[in-house]
Amino acid sequence: MAEKILMKGNEAIAISAIRNGVDGYFGYPITPQSEVMETLMKEKPWETTGMVVLQAESELSSINMVYGGASCGKKVMTSSSSPGISLMCEGISYIAGAELPCVIVDVMRGGPGLGTIQPSQSDYSQAVKGGGHGDYHCIVIAPASAQDMYDFVDWGFELAFKYRNPVIILADGIIGQLMEKVELHPMKPRRTEEEVLRDAPWATLGKPAGRERNVITSLSLDANTQENFNRKLKAKYDDIRENEVKFSEYLTEDAEYLFVAFGCSSRICEAAVDILREEGIKAGLIRPITLFPFPEKEISRLAGQVKSIMSIELNLGQMVEDVRLAANGQCPVGFYGRQGGNIYTPEEIVEEFRKFNNLK
Amino acid sequence: MKEEIIIAGFGGQGVLSMGKILAYSAIMQDLEVTWMPSYGPEMRGGTANVCVIISDRKISSPIITKYDTAIILNQQSLDKFEDKVKPGGLLVYDPSGITRAPARKDITVCSIDAIEVAAEAGNPKVYNMAVLGAYLQMKSIVKMENVVKGLEKSIPARYADMIQKNREAIEKGKEKVKIISSVL
Amino acid sequence: MEISDMIKPENLVYGKPALLTDNVMHYCPGCSHGTVHKLIAEVIEDMGIQDKTIGISPVGCSVFAYNYIDIDWQEAAHGRAPALATATKRLCPDKYVFTYQGDGDLASIGTAEIIHACSRGENIVVIFINNGIYGMTGGQMAPTTLLGMKTSTTPYGRDAKLNGFPLKITEMLAALDGTAYISRQSVHTAAAARKAKNAIRKGFEYSSKGVGLSFIEIVSTCNSGWKLSPVEANKWMVEHMFAKYPVGDIKDVLK
């Protein structure tokens, strides 16, 4: 039987990185995710798996360390929270432009500016729509439990290497701080240099005589070259949209009303659905697990089935725009959110649901 | 089975670690748990509280507003959480930090003089375990053997002697809990 | 005498290093970059470490350095090359890792990255081209621009009150415990280029000894930006730049 450990989501990220053969972590402290690097430093993986862990002088530096490490074909990652991710956006754009694999964990807190250190989901748009400059997408996956935090590190690297694309694990202060039971899977060893070169023949690990030099760059001054590259990226993103959408559904089969929520909000909505079901109201929930690619087909299908949809988010209404696009006028789409670190309760969501649907 | 607990007091009283040991004990009994602290400036002194949910089914919302049990270690926490105990629920408190006794008549109220237990043990660190003992006496949702396993998981190996001391404090807490009023 | 009689190994007085590619360089005639590229290519070739060397190019005129030296390269964002090099060296400790950065890249936008890479004692080599001007963007003031020097953003000459003082970053970095070898060189004469090459080689050798970061500044010319002929630019550099940025070894922990 797999070992079961009680741990915080943030700790699960760190332990998972060590156990899944990650080569390097580069980070900078910021609440509410500092436990990630603290746990790594406490575990000293450089003495066991050989994993490199380094506290950088800034988030700018840590994301560029990730850029350098990813250029070597290594499994490298960083973690931060909202203001730190803003600083990293330059680097993420370069990583996307150089088509490098990496995993970036964003344990969201409230903003804008220095904002609050309390939980929030107000960086949905930043993560899903870009953040940095240029036409690019990160693959964005949204954990809702400590177990997800553990599992998504490995899944994130799988996606990152499959598509040579940065992957953001978009968590929030609740998922980062919540302690739950985490089941540990068997250890995966770090890859040897031969295995790295097999997976990433483009890696800059030194040019042997007889092969072209490997150059990692996002620069092309020629308009046509750049346009062709942009189109190549588009084709890749379409491929991701086609093949990697992941979501979970709760009581949607006979649902007359639908909630859409991701991360911690999806769990609170699940409890709201239970309350409504007890009262005989056929509510259901869809939880997008991938935010890019967004489960638009499934939401579109459900929009044809239900009387209304509500998007529930810890922000002023960001994902709801994608829900509206997916619903495409088939049914009314409403929104309820809290901000500043305030978190809705299931009862509060039920009350807002009644208001929106004119139900007593 | 689902038990929703709030543990609240001052930072330094061992609120978070009591919750953690309780949660780990439940995992040892193959139950589902969530442990959700309030965090932020409150980490640096002031009030600390943690919400622990124990269930035999998958837990959806870790955010709740009503509790089956409130474990209260100071007056501010009593003021904040007394009303949030579900009717028929349980309130365990340490009277040494309380100036106004709980007033609810529709819940079971009991007290534990955990400072006395800690003083007798000559170890202030076991204070929170005496409180945990009092709770477990009132609601035996986890077996003592699993509580010991939870202690072993929560306490670093270099403090192995603390496992026995904590265990003794839990036993003392079980003995010393006083029922003030009961609806059971 | 036929020309074929002259092309013999014993008559060879100069050769292009094999690691220098045949791509036509985009640098202006008279620019120091080409010479420094050649010296680096020679050092890598002499040491036989082509298959173990990873270069990090900057943003600036040398952004295309990867087109000219036949090794694996990473192209960094502006100023961030030391961060890329840090991770590369730590993840691949048996490789030789160097950054190639200009004064705007290293001493302005990338000051945090270079200072902390030095402070951590990363076992990398940094080649720092200091020509006191932003070449690629068309001749704006750099942190190392001399007082009184005219650039497109100091059209009346750099004024300390308005623009601050020139930054002697190399001396600053020498004060950090993590640096092992710090040298300032130039490449305006054959003799100077030979010394510069020796310094670069020492930097590469130190980087495999685990003694800390090696930093070689090359005081350079930008005749286009300075609006001088190549010959005049060399003369101006000796007279003015060397006064502020004197050449020679500044620090050597193994000496």
pLDDT tens digits for C113-171? 999 999 999 999 999 999 999 999 999 999 999 999 999 999 999 999 999 999 999 99
Tokens of C194: 């030979």
Residue B17 touches chain A, beta carbons under 8 Å:
no
Looking at residue B42, its pLDDT comes to 46
**Which chains have 3 or more CB–CB distances shorter than 8 Å to chain C?**
A
Residue B137 in this model has a pLDDT that exceeds 90: yes
Give the pairing of strands A4-8 and A179-183. Answer: antiparallel
Inter-chain touch A178–B34, beta carbons under 8 Å = yes
Inter-chain touch A68–C112, beta carbons under 8 Å = no
Kindly provide the ipTM of the predicted complex, given to two decimals.
Answer: 0.95
Looking at chain A, which residue has its C-alpha nearest residue C84? A68
Interatomic CA distance for residues C202 and C46, integer angstroms:
12
Q: How many residues does chain C have?
A: 255
Looking at residue C62, its pLDDT comes to 94
Cβ atoms of B3 and B68 within 8 Å: the answer is yes
Cβ atoms of C178 and C213 within 8 Å: the answer is yes
CATH topology for A4-196?
Rossmann fold (3.40.50)
- Tell me the torsion sign for CA atoms A178, A180, A185, A186: positive
CB-nearest to A71 from C50, C53, C74 is C74
Residue B149 in this model has a pLDDT that exceeds 60: yes
Residue B40 in this model has a pLDDT that exceeds 90: no
What percent of chain B lies above the pLDDT cut of 70?
A: 96
| Residues linked to residue A319 through DSSP beta bridges, in sequence order | none
Give the helix/strand (H/E) hosting C232: helix C230-236
Looking at residue B39, its pLDDT comes to 58
What percent of chain A lies above the pLDDT cut of 70?
A: 100
Q: Give the residue, C1 or A227, on which the prediction is more confident.
A: A227
Query: What's the total number of domains in chain B?
Result: 1
Question: Residue C248: left (phi > 0), alpha (psi -120 to 50), or beta?
Answer: left
Q: How many CB atoms lie within 10 A of CB B92?
A: 27
Please name the amino acid found at residue A94: Y
Q: What 3-state class would DSSP assign to A207?
A: coil
Interatomic CA distance for residues B24 and A28, integer angstroms:
30
Tokens of A111: 């903003």
pLDDT, tens only, A18-75: 999 999 999 999 999 999 999 999 999 999 999 999 999 999 999 999 999 999 999 9
Task: Kindly give, in sequence order, each residue whose CB lies less than 8 Å from that of residue C4, ignoring residues fewer than 6 positions away.
Answer: none
Interatomic CA distance for residues A159 and A152, integer angstroms:
10
**Measured between beta carbons, which residues in chain B are less than 8 angstroms from residue A118?**
40
What mean pLDDT value characterizes chain C?
96
CB-nearest to A180 from B33, B37, B65 is B33
pLDDT, tens only, C201-232: 999 999 999 999 999 999 999 999 999 999 99
Report chain A's C-alpha Rg in angstroms. Answer: 21
Give the pairing of strands C213-219 and C125-130. Answer: parallel
Residue B41 in this model has a pLDDT that exceeds 50: no
Residue A154 touches chain B, beta carbons under 8 Å:
no
Q: How many CB atoms lie within 10 A of CB C78?
A: 18
Looking at residue B11, its pLDDT comes to 82
The pTM (predicted TM-score) of the whole model is 0.95
Give the helix/strand (H/E) hosting A285: strand A283-288
Would you tell me which residues 186-215 of chain A have a C-beta closer than 8 angstroms to some C-beta of chain B? none
Q: Which of A95, A190, A213, A218 to mutate to test the interface with C (most CBs of C within 10 A)?
A: A213
| Dihedral angle computed from the Cα positions of residues C223, C224, C230 and C232, in that order, rounded to the nearest 10 degrees | -60
Residue B24 touches chain A, beta carbons under 8 Å:
yes
Inter-chain touch C71–A24, beta carbons under 8 Å = no
The stretches in chain A having pLDDT less than 70 are 1
Looking at chain C, which residue has its C-alpha nearest residue A25? C87
Query: Right CATH number for C3-252 from 3.40.640.10, 3.40.50.970, 3.30.565.10, 3.40.50.720?
Result: 3.40.50.970
**Measured between beta carbons, which residues in chain C are less than 8 angstroms from residue A69?**
87-88, 91
Angle at alpha carbon of residue A8, lines to A21 and B12, rounded to 5°: 135
Cβ atoms of B32 and B56 within 8 Å: the answer is yes
Cβ atoms of B107 and B78 within 8 Å: the answer is no
Chain C touches chain B, with at least 3 Cβ pairs below 8 Å, answer no
Tokens of A358: 């004119």
What mean pLDDT value characterizes chain B?
92
Q: Which of A65, A95, A218, A219 to mutate to test the interface with C (most CBs of C within 10 A)?
A: A65
Interatomic CA distance for residues B54 and B33, integer angstroms:
5
Give the helix/strand (H/E) hosting B23: helix B15-28
Nearest Cα to Cα of residue A237 among A136, A342, A346: A136
CB-nearest to A6 from B20, B60, B64 is B20
Cβ atoms of B20 and B9 within 8 Å: the answer is no
Query: Right CATH number for A247-357 from 3.40.50.920, 3.40.50.150, 3.30.470.10, 3.50.40.10?
Result: 3.40.50.920
Domains in chain A: boundaries = 4-196, 247-357
Looking at residue B45, its pLDDT comes to 53
Chain C touches chain A, with at least 3 Cβ pairs below 8 Å, answer yes
Residue C63 touches chain A, beta carbons under 8 Å:
yes
Q: Which of A94, A216, A221 to mutate to test the interface with C (most CBs of C within 10 A)?
A: A216
Looking at chain A, which residue has its C-alpha nearest residue B150? A6
Looking at residue A1, its pLDDT comes to 55
Looking at residue C72, its pLDDT comes to 98
Interatomic CA distance for residues C45 and B98, integer angstroms:
79
Cβ atoms of C106 and C114 within 8 Å: the answer is yes
CA A206 to chain CA centroid, nearest Å: 32
CB-nearest to A178 from B35, B60, B65 is B35
Q: How many CB pairs under 8 A join A and B?
A: 66
- Please give the residue range of the domain that contains residue B123: 2-181
Q: How confident is the model at residue B38 (pLDDT cuts 50, 70, 90)?
A: confident
Looking at residue C4, its pLDDT comes to 86
Inter-chain touch B65–A345, beta carbons under 8 Å = yes
Residue A174 touches chain B, beta carbons under 8 Å:
yes
Closest approach of chain A CAs to the CA of C178, in angstroms? 15
Closest approach of chain A CAs to the CA of B175, in angstroms? 29
Chain A touches chain B, with at least 3 Cβ pairs below 8 Å, answer yes
Nearest Cα to Cα of residue C58 among A217, B19, B67: A217
Residue A104 touches chain B, beta carbons under 8 Å:
no
Inter-chain touch B39–A177, beta carbons under 8 Å = yes
**Measured between beta carbons, which residues in chain B are less than 8 angstroms from residue A268?**
60-61, 63
CATH of the domain at B17: 3.40.920.10
Tokens of C226: 């300075």
Task: Kindly give, in sequence order, each residue whose CB lies less than 8 Å from that of residue A297, ignoring residues fewer than 6 positions away.
Answer: A245, A326
Residue carrying the six token digits 């670093």: B156
- What DSSP state is assigned to residue A72? T
Q: What 3-state class would DSSP assign to A234?
A: helix
Residue A264 touches chain B, beta carbons under 8 Å:
yes
Query: What number is the average pLDDT over the span C181-194?
Result: 97
**Which chains have 3 or more CB–CB distances shorter than 8 Å to chain A?**
B, C
